């Protein structure tokens, strides 16, 4: 078993930037002795996207056309199962994304692969792969090994590796894999619905006052709305408050909401789960107030305070208002 | 319509902790509760049962005593029956090992629909449900935000990045992994909590399901070698003092940043 296969991900005809990060991770595994790097492109647009992943250090492109124009989990599953069966790579790298989570665990269980998701680090030593991931709500890091697994499927968190430079064009061999995938789809797309355009666009605000689970009481959202208005900020929120119906979805920051990069992001009572941080880590100044000193938000914030958010909010209304 | 809902009790690590080099934290050091996502998948199952006149909701959990607490919580909320695959060694099992055990239960129960939480809040693998679907070879959709029945088929909303929704149609049997916010999970009444213990509750070992020893060990997708404290970056510069002092410093920082 040798070699690293990167599974490229595209959406709406464009390569996801995370794919370049995976290529970078694959190159370092290859340099550590894991074997040559191949990039697999599964889908109707495989050929059009090939140039974008034909980068320095990529030996082969595996092109797998699909019978449906858009991503369909069972087609992707059948295609990846065929790739693993034919190529028997030592490592398969893919993004820890909604798309990957829709089919890769099924490939891993069916083919009895080694498997880890949301991986933060991966390396190759003494002819085997090791990986690191968060544990216990990201409080700890778990080091993983995959004994007795000739092929290991690793889903890598976005941003864990720097992206491969897109400028350096390679000269990879292009291989078309002709698979019979006509019977593979098991779901039919009825429609693709974009999120409704709301009355507020939080991506355009310079100053976001963002509130999270620490609010604890629907009645108190109004106080925070008033505070935001008073200090010239736009109110945004993390997912739990949107799920609970306390704040409208157009104000949600995170992977499944909006990605924002304001001048100031003031986070009150937000713990800083992965899916939230993905949507706000590019803010120029991040200040976090949380009652839990262990909250992961303090790892991404530039300034932080361990305090009751409402006590700080009351003072802020007076001082910034 | 028969619905199978795999659930988990999750452990939250509170406060400071001294690591002793082992690969698992002692159960007593954790604060336990039903996985947040599983409250939503259970509620979705209860709602579908109420729509279909002759439905049954079976909850299943794998692990030691904590798994029993998760199952009792689900029975109190309205599940009809519970299956506890008892094995304390499986409490911290990886998604593929859990999927292998759940496969045995699912093959025995033959549900029309399996509803899993999209992930657990502690390990956050997001993989057990789809891994189970793979073993059962049933259709699956991950990270679902709406479920409807139409002429014996499912119509589901799948959540993509950035809030885009893909609406899909698929046939039963199927497995869905459920995202938070899909519904408003009900609370159990005090009376229902008391009555939960009188509902059918089966405790079974992996061995009785035909899965033990090497077969069970081989099903695991990975092994945790050790746990360590994360290498923290510089982290936030902490502002100390009473709320007024914290607010004053925040006001100062915000003012500077907005002027820049």
What pLDDT was estimated at residue A167? 60
Task: Name the percent of chain B lying above pLDDT 70.
Answer: 97
pLDDT above 90 for B137: yes
**CA nearest B232 in A: which residue?**
A299
Give the one of B134, B171, B235 whose C-beta lies nearest to A106's C-beta. B134
Distance from CA of B74 to the nearest CA of A (A): 20
Pick from B128, B182, B41: which is nearest to A256 by CA? B182
Cβ contacts from A onto B, under 8 A: 285
pLDDT for A197 equals: 74
Confidence of residue B20 (pLDDT cuts 50, 70, 90): confident
- In this predicted structure, what is the pLDDT of residue A1? 65
Q: Compute and round to an integer the Cα radius of gyration of chain B.
A: 21
Query: CB distance from B225 to chain A under 8 Å?
Result: yes
Nearest alpha carbon to residue A198 among A247, A238, A157:
A247
Query: If you average pLDDT over residues A84-99, what whole number do you get?
Result: 96
Question: What was the pLDDT predicted at A166?
Answer: 64
Tokens of B41: 């998948």
Measured CA to CA in angstroms, residue A167 lies from A60, A201, A317 at distances of 18, 34, 49
B232 touches chain A (CB under 8 A): yes
Nearest to A98 among B131, B143, B167 (CB): B143
What is the 3-class SS of B39-76, one letter each residue?
HHHHHHHHHHHHHCCCCEEEEEEEECHHHHHHHHHHHH
B129 neighbourhood in chain A, CB within 8 Å: 105
Which pLDDT score, from 0 to 100, does residue B241 have? 94
In B64-137, beta strands by DSSP E = 81-86, 113-117
Report which secondary-structure segment, H or E, holds B107. helix B95-109
pLDDT at B139 over 70: yes
Pairing, β A4-7 against β A91-95: parallel
Q: Does B64 touch chain A (CB under 8 A)?
A: no
- Return the closest-CA partner of residue A118 out of B227, B145, B119, B104: B119
Q: B142–A206: do the CB atoms touch at under 8 Å? A: no
Q: Which chain A residues have a beta carbon less than 8 Å from that of B12?
A: 136-137
Measured over the CA atoms of residue A42, residue A43, residue A47 and residue A48, the dihedral's sign is negative
H or E element at residue B203: strand B201-204
* Contacts B116 to A, Cβ<8 Å: none
User: What pLDDT, on the 0 to 100 scale, is given for residue B163?
Assistant: 80
- B198 interfacial to chain A (CB closer than 8 Å): no
Put simply, the answer to whether B236 touches A301 (Cβ < 8 Å) is yes
Share of chain B above pLDDT 90, in %: 78
Total-model pTM: 0.90
The answer to whether the beta carbons of residues A11 and A45 sit under 8 Å apart is no
Give the pLDDT confidence score for residue A136 in this predicted structure.
84
Which residue is closest to B166 within chain A, CA to CA? Answer: A192
pLDDT in tens, B89-110: 998 899 999 999 999 999 999 9
Indicate if the pLDDT at residue A257 is higher than 70.
Answer: yes
Query: Which is more confidently placed, B139 or B22?
Result: B139
Locate the chain B residue with the closest alpha carbon to A209: B254
pLDDT at A254: 92
Provide the pLDDT confidence category of residue B30 given band limits of 50, 70 and 90. confident
- Kindly state the greatest CA–CA separation across chain B: 69
Given a cut of 90, whether residue A44 has pLDDT beyond it is no
pLDDT given at position B32:
83
Distance (Å, whole) CA B219 – CA B204: 19
Residue A291's pLDDT is what?
95
Contacts of B173 in chain A (CB under 8 A): none
Tell me: pLDDT of B27 over 80: no
B163 with A240: Cβ contact below 8 A: no
The secondary structure of residue A245, as a DSSP letter, is T
Average pLDDT score over residue span B157-171: 92
pLDDT in tens, B179-234: 999 999 999 999 999 999 999 999 999 999 999 888 899 999 999 999 988 776 66
Q: B16 pLDDT exceeds 70? A: no
pLDDT tens across A228-237, in order? Answer: 999 999 999 9
Residue contact A285–B253, C-beta within 8 A: yes
B8–chain A Cβ distance below 8 A for any pair: no
């Amino acid at each position: 078993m040798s070699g690293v296969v990167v599974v490229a991900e595209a959406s709406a005809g464009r390569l996801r930037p995370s794919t370049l990060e995976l290529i970078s991770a694959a190159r370092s595994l290859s340099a550590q002795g894991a074997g040559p790097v191949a990039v697999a492109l599964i889908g109707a647009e495989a050929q059009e996207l090939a140039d974008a992943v034909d980068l320095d250090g990529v030996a082969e492109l595996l092109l797998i056309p699909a019978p449906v124009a858009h991503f369909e989990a069972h087609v992707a599953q059948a295609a990846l199962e065929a790739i693993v069966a034919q190529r028997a790579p030592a490592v398969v790298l893919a993004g820890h994304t909604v798309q990957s989570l829709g089919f890769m665990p099924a490939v891993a269980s069916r083919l009895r692969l080694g498997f880890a998701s949301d991986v933060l680090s991966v390396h190759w030593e003494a002819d085997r792969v090791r990986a690191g991931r968060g544990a216990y709500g990201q409080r700890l890091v778990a080091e993983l090994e995959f004994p007795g697994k000739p092929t290991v499927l690793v889903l890598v968190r976005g941003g864990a590796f720097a992206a491969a430079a897109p400028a350096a064009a390679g000269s990879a061999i292009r291989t078309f894999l002709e698979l019979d995938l006509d019977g593979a789809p098991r779901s039919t797309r009825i429609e693709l619905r974009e999120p409704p355009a709301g009355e507020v666009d939080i991506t355009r605000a310079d100053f976001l006052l963002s509130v999270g689970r620490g609010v604890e009481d629907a009645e108190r959202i109004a106080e925070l709305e008033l505070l935001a208005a008073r200090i010239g900020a736009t109110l945004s929120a993390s997912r739990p408050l949107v799920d609970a119906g306390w704040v409208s979805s157009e104000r949600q920051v995170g992977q499944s909401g909006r990605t924002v990069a304001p001048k100031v992001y003031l986070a009150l009572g937000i713990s800083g789960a992965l899916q939230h941080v993905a949507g706000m880590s590019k803010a120029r100044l991040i200040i976090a107030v949380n009652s839990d000193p262990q909250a992961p938000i303090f790892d991404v914030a530039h300034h932080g305070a361990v305090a009751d958010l409402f006590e700080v909010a009351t003072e802020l209304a007076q001082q910034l208002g | 319509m028969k619905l199978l809902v795999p659930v988990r009790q999750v452990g939250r690590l509170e406060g400071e902790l001294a690591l002793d080099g082992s690969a698992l934290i002692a159960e007593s050091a954790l604060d336990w509760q039903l996985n947040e996502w599983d409250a939503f998948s259970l509620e979705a199952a209860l709602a579908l049962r109420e729509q279909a006149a002759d439905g049954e909701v079976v909850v299943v959990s794998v692990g030691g005593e904590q798994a029993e607490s998760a199952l009792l919580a689900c029975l109190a909320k309205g599940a009809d029956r519970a299956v506890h695959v008892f094995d304390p060694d499986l409490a911290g099992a990886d998604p593929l090992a859990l999927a292998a055990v759940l496969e045995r239960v699912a093959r025995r129960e033959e549900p029309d629909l399996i509803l899993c939480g999209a992930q657990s809040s502690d390990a956050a693998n997001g993989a057990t449900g789809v891994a189970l679907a793979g073993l059962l070879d049933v259709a699956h959709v991950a990270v679902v935000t709406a479920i409807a029945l139409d002429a014996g088929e499912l119509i589901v909303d799948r959540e993509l990045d950035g809030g885009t929704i893909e609406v899909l149609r698929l046939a039963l049997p199927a497995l869905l992994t459920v995202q938070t916010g899909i519904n408003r999970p009900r609370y159990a009444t005090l009376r229902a909590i008391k009555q939960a213990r009188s509902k059918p509750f089966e405790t079974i070992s992996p061995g009785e399901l035909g899965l033990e020893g090497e077969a069970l060990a081989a099903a695991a997708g990975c092994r945790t070698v050790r746990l360590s404290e994360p290498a923290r970056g510089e982290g936030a510069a902490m502002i100390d003092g009473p709320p007024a002092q914290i607010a004053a410093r925040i006001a100062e920082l915000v003012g500077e940043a907005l002027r820049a």
